[in-house]
Amino acid sequence: MRKVILALFALATLTGWAKGKTVVWEQPSTEVNTKIDGLSDALLQIVLVEFAEDETRLTMHIASRPTSWVKLSSGTHLIAEGKQYALKRLDGMELDKETYLTAQGHVDVVLHFEPLPMNTKRFDFTEGEDKGAWKLLGVEDAKTRAGQLFPSNWRNTQTGDWDISFYDECAVYDCQFWNYSQKIRKGDKYLIVLENNGKEITVNVGKNKKGLRRITIDGKEGQYSLITSITLPDYPQKDTRAGFKDTGYRTDTVTFVGWLRNMPEELKEDNGEFRVEYTNIFTDKNIISYSKTDSLGRFTIKVPLHNSSEVDCYEEPYIRTFFEPGETYFMLYDFKGGHKLFMGRDCRLQNEMLTYPIPMIYSQRPQKDMDEATLMQLLESLKKDKANAMQRLEQVIDKHPNISDRYIKCIADKFNASVGSALMQIRYWTENRMIPAGYLDYAYQESWQKMAEPYTLYSDAYWFRKDYIRYLTENRYAIPMKGGYCMLYEDVYAPLLRNFRDAGKVQITDGDLSTIEKYAEINHRVHKEQADNEVIHLDLTEEESKWFNKACEILDREDIKKALKDNESLFDTYRAISILDSIGCSQDMRDIIIAGKIYDIFEYNCMPLGDNEMQFIEENIKLPAVRDLLYAEQEKYLALQRGDGAGISSLKSAEDVANMSDGEKILRKITEPYRGKIILMDIWGTWCGPCKEALSHSQEEYRQLKDYDLVYLYLANRSEETAWKNIIQMYNVTGENVVHYNLPKAQQSAIEHFVGVSGYPTYKLIDRNGNVLDVNVDARDLEGLKKLLNQMK
């Protein structure tokens, strides 16, 4: 940053700005700066102030999303000692005009004002009093501001790290909040004793010498400079490390401490908590860790991670960064003072990402039903976008030679992942979801082959992998149908039986396997022609009939039939393995994708795995940590099964309606005991992902709706008994006013036909007289549900 400021000052001198005496403030301090986001709002920072006899000049850094605009009003002025100084000219932007920062996402501008007195100590920058007007208040020379210790943030000039802060409320050091046991001031020196959980440390603060102080913290002395910029300036030395910590996917915890200082009251009311979220690459679920903030906006969150990961931190503010397992991070986000900083044992990357955010790769919006030519044009556009982003990264490297190698590699790898994710998502906009070979080759070369490890790192990489494997699987094993795909089982028979033979589980000849492969080929062709021509039946040729009949004889053998039946749940896993074998991948990648498929089996069946599936894990997954994760999931379901629903008083028998067939009468019969109360009916299934996601929040639902005295009636659709009980126990869908039925298929279908079920979950409200109400209701929208219930009162 200092090199940039000196360069700007040199430019000012050469262009004749500095005539006669000039007073310069480099990287001045700002007491109040509420424009520090740079993502959804503009980021404003004064980097240089020059007081000349004929004018006062401000060099300002403005950043925003390239797709957003910024505008500076001609009414902008400075205020010092109660007097206003008007803006005369603006270099780098046009006044009163919406300006899109499409090239870089930022711009450096120079504002020329009427001259302030050369001895000015402090001034305000403002566009005016309108709501949303840009304001930076209490602008002051950093060398002078360093004489004020409270509040202040300090960085070690040797390491470049933010080490300590002094605020009126508390101090911040070693990623912790410290209370003041003692504060003694002697002139410009301070003796401070800090206390945290019974531990005390002594801090000696030396005199301010042109913005620098010698500070001794718990016996360790160093030279410190006042942090006046929004984010941490460039580090003084180069860091040549490039990789991330790799735990082998063994879960560890991150401790994340933060301070949302001076949060506006309206944000406090809307939020009151801070969250960290990322996608679990094994379960495909969002993992959310959160903590309530205290009255000062402070929080501590424990975040479990399988490995180093990209995470999203929000509600307000929103920050995307990286966490490494076992580390402790402290984040300061000061809504008034204008600072966003990371503290920790190794948080250089986090600070560099705040200072130099990842340039986004933009592409033109996809069109509906794109043909191949349009798709290839879009690919070329995406290539240019990536090249431009890489060029922006090179500019950052050139201007900031000390930027860490880890940052450089992280950004480049993120670009590869982002391009891959965008490419695979775009296919959903095509005519038939098919991708040209050249398009797919680019995704393979730029995203698959350049996948960074550990594989938890980039959320975009996860979504790319998921979509890429899915596309290749559908392309090889599925038949496109109206509105989706039909996955064929027969294509996996031969490779699966070949593996079984090699493992000594079945006896089958190469000739028999060739026959089954031919059978699968014929079957695939027939299904495709049926789908293309929208016909029910196609006749086989005489030759095809021979192959077909011979294969059926082989597949009808008891040993073959049993082997396929016992491993039917693994068909999708075997398809994925065949795809991975064809495109090549590391053993870790293979294990992770296989583990994801096994988790899908758990998720769908809601029961422990069988012996064949457990043996498959033992034979195919090499990473100990990944195997342990699956074993832990198996034990969870075994424990549920051992309970067998015991103690769940809300499980009801279907005996009273066993002989009934009228849906309305069945529903009236099972709701009869609850007349006089409003019933919220939830029709769901153990096989339904959205249903189970909603059920996982049941206790929160009951808590928020406790004042309405509801009865919760759950009707399970096509759900195996054990799985049904497991889900109820797992998500604690229980209570005195909770009722569960797992009706026979005929009775369940009759009720669903009566109430008009068209999807799952389906929610219905039943009034106090047992009538199903014709209102739109969704238990996942609790605020909307409360409004309906209030109307019913």
- Strands across the sheet containing 319-323: 286-292, 273-279, 309-314, 319-323
Average the pLDDT over each of 200-214, 440-454, 488-502, 601-615 and give the range with the smallest value.
488-502
Percentage of the chain exceeding pLDDT 70: 95
Give, in order, the Cα–Cα distances in Å from 351 to each of 142, 172, 342, 343, 404.
21, 17, 6, 8, 11
* Residue 484 or 576, more confident: 576
pTM (2 d.p.): 0.90
Q: What's the confidence (pLDDT) of residue 490?
A: 86
- Count of CB atoms within 10 A of residue 625's CB? 16
In this predicted structure, the answer to whether residue 4 has a pLDDT above a threshold of 60 is: no
Query: pLDDT class for 716, splitting at 50, 70, 90?
Result: very high
607 pLDDT band, cuts 50/70/90, is: very high
Quick one: tokens of 430?
A: 């095509």
CA 724 to CA 744: how far, in whole Å? Answer: 13
The per-residue pLDDT for range 345-355, each reduced to its tens digit, is 999 999 999 99
Tokens of 149: 């210790």
CB 268 within 8 A of CB 298: no
> What pLDDT is attached to residue 483?
64
pLDDT at 363: 60
pLDDT band at 270 (very low <50, low <70, confident <90, very high): low
Q: How far apart are CA 473 and CA 491, in angstroms?
A: 11
Q: What are phi and psi of 711, to 5 degrees?
A: -110, 130
Give the separation between CA 362 and CA 386, rounded to whole angstroms.
8
| Residue-level pLDDT at 362 | 63
Angle at 23 between CA 339 and CA 134, to 5 degrees: 40
Write the DSSP symbol of residue 569.
G
pLDDT digits (tens, 9 = 90+) for 729-785: 999 999 999 999 999 999 999 999 999 999 999 999 999 999 999 999 999 999 999
Average pLDDT over the chain, rounded to an integer: 91
Give SS3 for 434: coil
SS3 119: coil
Q: How long a stretch of residues is the chain?
A: 793
> Could you tell me how far CA 138 lies from the centroid of its own chain?
37
* Cα 637 to Cα 607, 621, 640, 642, distances in angstroms: 6, 20, 5, 9
Q: Which helix (H) or strand (E) holds 356?
A: none
Looking at residue 11, its pLDDT comes to 46
Q: Which comes out higher in pLDDT, residue 359 or 576?
A: 576
Phi-psi region of 82 (alpha: psi -120 to 50; beta: other; left: phi over 0): left
Q: Report the amino acid identity of residue 698.
A: S
**Angle at CA of residue 764, ends 674 and 728, nearest 5°:** 75
Nearest to 144 by CA among 118, 122, 117: 122
* 575: Cβ contacts below 8 Å, ≥ 6 apart: 473, 476, 477, 491, 492
Q: What is each CA distance from 646 to 162, 343, 699, in whole angstroms?
A: 55, 50, 19
Given its phi and psi angles, is residue 557 left (phi above 0), alpha (psi -120 to 50 degrees) or beta?
beta
Average pLDDT over residues 622-639: 95
What's residue 268's pLDDT?
A: 72
State phi, psi for 333 to the nearest 5 degrees: -130, 105
Task: Check residue 18 and give its pLDDT.
Answer: 45
**pLDDT band at residue 429 under the 50/70/90 scheme:** confident
- Tens of pLDDT, residue by residue over 518-533, are 988 888 888 888 777 7
pLDDT band at 404 (very low <50, low <70, confident <90, very high): very high
Q: Strand pairing of 252-261 and 328-334?
A: parallel
**Contact yes or no for 474/485 (Cβ under 8 A):** yes
Q: Give bridge partners of residue 525 from the DSSP assignment.
A: none
163 pLDDT above the threshold of 70: yes
Q: What is the C-alpha separation between 537 and 376, in angstroms, rounded?
A: 37
- pLDDT value at position 264? 85
| Burial letters 418-453, b for 16+ CB under 10 A, else e | bbbbbbbebbebbeeeebeeebbebbbebbbebbbe
pLDDT digits (tens, 9 = 90+) for 288-313: 999 999 999 999 999 999 999 999 99
Give the pair of three-digit tokens for residue 619: 């034979």
**Residue 759, pLDDT score:** 93
